[in-house]
Amino acid sequence: MRKFITAAFIAFAVGAASPTVEAGGLGKAITTAAVKKAFRRDLARDMATAAKPLPKDRMVWRYTTRNQAKLETKRGLAAHTHMTSRVHPGRPLSAQGAQRKFGLPAMPQVRETIRLPKGHPARFNKALRGTPGVGEVTSPTRISRDAIVRVDPIRARKGPATVRQRSSPVVPGGR
């Protein structure tokens, strides 16, 4: 009986400490604490990196939410805002791919294309919590709203379990 009680206690303790505890539980608190720690580490690293003026104009992307993009097109980008290091040709990343690659805390909905002018101060670092070796750019100063060239929506990738619905019913023998 004593072994049973000990085993039950251990199972309960392991289950309660699991990061997959439902909403509002210990798992969420652990995740939130880890995100806050990463943000503090990121900010400290950015402040320690010297800003250098850009030798020429540079195009960068910023993955963000729709609401944040609306604010930024009206007011510009705040100082210390994170952007990708470069623009690459090709199909845009899915929302999940961008979040994984750049270590974003929230699922992005849009991709802003931004032109940083020659001489603008910029800090170059590696993205924390993202794919190793992926670069990012931050600016110690505010970026004008005129620097935002365009805002493109990005799609969330559909998983293998989703089935595409037909828009019209299937009619036997018909088209």
SS3 category, 45: helix
Structural domain total, the chain? 1
Residue ranges in the chain assigned as alpha helix (H)? 2-17, 26-48, 66-75, 95-102
Structural domain of 50: 45-153
* Per-residue pLDDT tens listing for the chain (175 residues): 555 454 444 444 444 444 444 455 555 566 778 778 877 887 888 888 899 999 999 999 999 999 999 999 999 999 999 999 999 888 888 999 999 999 888 899 999 999 999 999 999 988 888 888 899 999 999 999 999 999 999 987 765 544 444 444 444 455 4
* Position 85, amino acid: S
For residue 99, tell me if it sits in a domain. Answer: yes
For residue 35, tell me if it sits in a domain. Answer: no
For residue 89, tell me if it sits in a domain. Answer: yes
Handedness of CA 37, 129, 137, 135 (dihedral sign): positive
- pTM for this predicted structure: 0.69
